[in-house]
């Protein structure tokens, strides 16, 4: 990832063709084992393939129920899970579905609207360090009624009843009076650093284009706090910023190509998948394939020099949520390498399939009859895909072929 990060920073000012060649070389040297090797959407806009119903029938197995608006899922040793509940609780789920009492030790959380306790991740070296990362809506310290997205690290106590040594390692600036567009997905970069997605807070969309703030950004930070080494750091930019021009990124995963992949909510239409590179501008709110709620143009159109095109987009919006790459053999060779994306709006699970050049060649949806809003999608250490459903009585599900 050092190689990719440094190369990514060095590529910032190169022409697209050179960028593509170097990016391809990076992918070839780092992802030889992966059958599908996406490259970036450097070729400009294309009409995306339309979603179609899957030919393959799948089912789900209920692992646990009784979770109130579960939002983020992480895996513990022994087939157990950590699950956040948006109102501000973190629980351990046993393999048989039993829920622990809420863990003690969480900081103050501004729960309400879209905000609350959102994503959670266990460190890649969790079995040795027992470290957990989580992000949440953080209230201001003065009681002024503002909030922003924050990222914390903690140690899970040996009895798994509490978080210890809780330390907030990043706070989005500025805090805003809003209960929307927190972003708040965490992705580990594979080198000990963390990506965190940050929304535009809905009413501050123009701030996504200025780099003196963290609204509408993806940041890249060290687990000890502070900017990760190798961040692009253009003049005047806050040092944690990795990319900008985002609206509300609620799905993120490190791809098998070593790059950060995200999805983000458009306005009315224009939800996107982006393969995110350091120092790039992803366009919001200047370019978008969506429009205002109720109709009406936003910004300048769908493309502009200096702004990245999405790899894939949806009109109408699917309201994407968590996402994960399938790297296991559990579901057969045809699905391996696919990207699975939850849909809140249509209550189904999308599977995106790529060709050898990285284009999305198929977008099919599964679980169309289940009717559950899907909030998070993860591949477990056992290779199965796990889902969280967004409901007052939300569930943890295992996808079965």
Nearest residue relative to Ca ion (C-beta): 283
- Distance CA(313)–CA(216), nearest Å, equals 18
Q: Which residues contact 73 (CB under 8 A, 6 or more apart)?
A: 81, 82, 83, 84, 120, 322, 376, 378, 386, 388, 396
Strands 360-366 and 52-53: parallel
- Distance CA(237)–CA(180), nearest Å, equals 24
Region from 5-13, 24-32, 130-138, 282-290 binding Ca ion, contact rule CB under 5 A? 282-290
Region from 100-108, 228-236, 276-284, 367-375 binding Ca ion, contact rule CB under 5 A? 276-284
- Greatest CA separation for the chain: 55
DSSP string for 71-107: EEEEEEGGGEEEEEETTTEEEEE-TT-PBPPPPB-PP
Beta strands in 69-223 (DSSP E): 70-76, 80-85, 89-93, 117-122, 131-139, 147-156, 163-171, 186-188, 193-198, 217-222
Three-class secondary structure of residue 28 per DSSP:
helix
Q: Which of 70, 251, 283, 394 binds Ca ion (CB under 5 A)?
A: 283
For residues 226 to 265, the per-residue mask of contacts with Ca ion, x marking binding by CB under 5 A and - elsewhere, is ----------------------------------------
Between 261 and 331, CB nearer to Ca ion: 261
Between 139 and 283, CB nearer to Ca ion: 283
Count of residues touching Ca ion (by CB under 5 A): 2
**Cβ 298 to Ca ion shortest distance, Å:** 11
**Cβ 167 to Ca ion shortest distance, Å:** 33
Q: Give the sheet arrangement for strand 70-76, strand by strand.
A: 70-76, 80-85, 89-93
**Cβ 224 to Ca ion shortest distance, Å:** 31
Torsions phi, psi of 179, nearest 5? Answer: -120, 30
Residue among 181, 214, 259, 350 flagged as catalytic: 181
Between 266 and 342, CB nearer to Ca ion: 266
Q: List the interface residues with Ca ion, window 171-230 (CB under 5 A).
A: none
**Cβ 284 to Ca ion shortest distance, Å:** 5
Q: Which residues contact 21 (CB under 8 A, 6 or more apart)?
A: none
Contact between 282 and Ca ion (CB under 5 A)?
A: yes
181 is catalytic: yes
Region from 35-43, 111-119, 281-289, 319-327 binding Ca ion, contact rule CB under 5 A? 281-289
- Distance CA(277)–CA(260), nearest Å, equals 7
Between 60 and 288, CB nearer to Ca ion: 288
Between 282 and 384, CB nearer to Ca ion: 282
**Cβ 385 to Ca ion shortest distance, Å:** 27
Kindly report the CA angle at 354 between 349 and 6, in degrees rounded to 5?
105
Region from 21-29, 49-57, 251-259, 279-287 binding Ca ion, contact rule CB under 5 A? 279-287
- Distance CA(172)–CA(110), nearest Å, equals 14
Torsions phi, psi of 206, nearest 5? Answer: -65, -25
**Cβ 359 to Ca ion shortest distance, Å:** 17
Region from 1-9, 40-48, 49-57, 274-282 binding Ca ion, contact rule CB under 5 A? 274-282
The residues binding Ca ion (CB under 5 A) are 282-283
Write out the catalytic residue numbers: 181
């Amino acid at each position: 990832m050092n190689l990719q990060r440094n190369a990514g920073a060095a590529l910032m000012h190169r022409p697209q063709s050179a960028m593509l060649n170097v990016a391809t070389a990076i992918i070839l040297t780092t992802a030889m084992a992966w059958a599908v090797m996406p490259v970036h959407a450097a070729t400009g806009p294309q009409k995306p393939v339309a979603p179609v119903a899957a030919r393959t029938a799948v089912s789900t197995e209920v692992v646990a129920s009784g979770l109130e608006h579960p939002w983020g899922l992480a895996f513990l040793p022994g087939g157990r899970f950590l699950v956040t509940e948006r109102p501000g609780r973190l629980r351990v789920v046993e393999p048989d579905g039993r829920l622990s009492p809420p863990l003690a030790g969480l900081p103050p959380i501004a729960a309400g609207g879209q905000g609350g306790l959102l994503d959670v991740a266990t460190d890649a070296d969790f079995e040795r360090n027992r470290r957990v990362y989580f992000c949440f809506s953080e209230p201001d310290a003065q009681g002024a009624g503002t909030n922003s997205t924050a990222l914390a690290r903690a140690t899970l106590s040996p009895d798994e009843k509490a978080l210890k040594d809780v330390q907030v390692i990043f706070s989005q600036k500025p805090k805003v009076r809003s209960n929307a567009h927190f972003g708040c997905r965490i992705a580990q970069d594979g080198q000990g650093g963390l990506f965190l997605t940050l929304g535009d807070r809905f009413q501050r969309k123009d701030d996504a284009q200025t780099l003196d703030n963290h609204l509408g950004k993806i940041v890249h930070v060290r687990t000890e706090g502070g900017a990760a080494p190798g961040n692009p750091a253009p003049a005047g930019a806050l040092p944690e910023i990795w990319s900008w021009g985002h609206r509300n990124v609620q799905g993120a995963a490190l791809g098998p190509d070593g790059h950060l992949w995200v999805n983000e909510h458009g306005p009315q239409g224009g939800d996107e998948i982006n393969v995110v590179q350091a120092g790039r501008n992803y366009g919001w709110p200047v370019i978008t394939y969506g429009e205002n709620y109720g109709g009406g143009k936003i910004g300048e159109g769908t493309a502009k020099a200096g702004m990245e095109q999405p790899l894939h987009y949806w009109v109408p919006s699917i309201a994407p949520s968590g996402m994960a790459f399938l790297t296991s053999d559990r579901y057969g060779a045809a699905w391996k390498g696919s990207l699975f994306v939850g849909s809140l709006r249509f209550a189904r699970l999308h599977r995106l399939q790529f060709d050898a050049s990285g284009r999305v060649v198929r977008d099919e949806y599964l679980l169309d009859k289940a009717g559950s809003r899907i909030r998070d999608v993860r591949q477990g250490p056992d290779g199965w895909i796990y889902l969280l459903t967004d409901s007052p009585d939300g569930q943890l599900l295992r996808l079965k072929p």
